[in-house]
Amino acid sequence: MILYEVNLEVRDDALAAFRAWLAEHIEEILRLPGFLSAEVLERRDPPPPDGLRPLTVHYRLIDGAALERYLTQDAPRMREAGLRRFGDAFTATRRVLAGDG
């Protein structure tokens, strides 16, 4: 099992529109092969910088091959869509964790 984590910091003035877009984005991702589930969490530690809301999205995938397929075939297009719509209203960092279950 793979956990693909996306850490976001979203400007407060863009948060409502970003959350609406993010819900659609997640639905699109969950239709891709190998994605099992996703959840959005609000990070509270450390406290967020002024004017920014930190969010974390956890995607669970069946295996590393599914993640690699996403990263090479779908991620560039999907990331570009978010950048076109929101520009510098958010930042994203990512990490990958692997587990047994």
pLDDT exceeds 80 at position 64: yes
Q: What is the pTM of this model?
A: 0.92
48 φ/ψ angles, rounded to the nearest 5 degrees: -70, 150
| 56: pLDDT strictly greater than 70 | yes
**How is domain 13-98 classified at the CATH fold level?**
Alpha-Beta Plaits (3.30.70)
Determine the pLDDT at residue 76: 97
What pLDDT score was predicted for residue 45?
79
Question: Measured between alpha carbons, how far is 95 from 80 in angstroms, rounded to an integer?
Answer: 19
Mean pLDDT across the stretch 21-40?
98
Q: Which residues contact 71 (CB under 8 A, 6 or more apart)?
A: none
**Where is average pLDDT lowest: 20-29, 38-47, 52-61, 77-86?**
38-47
What is the average pLDDT across 79-94? 96
pLDDT of 101 reads 60
SS3 state at 101: coil
Half-sphere exposure of 28 (CA within 13 A, CB side): 14
pLDDT, mean over the chain: 95
Contact (Cβ atoms closer than 8 angstroms) between residue 44 and residue 55: no
Residue 68 has which token pair?
Answer: 């690699």
Task: State the helix-helix crossing angle for 75-86 and 15-30, rounded to 10 degrees.
Answer: 170
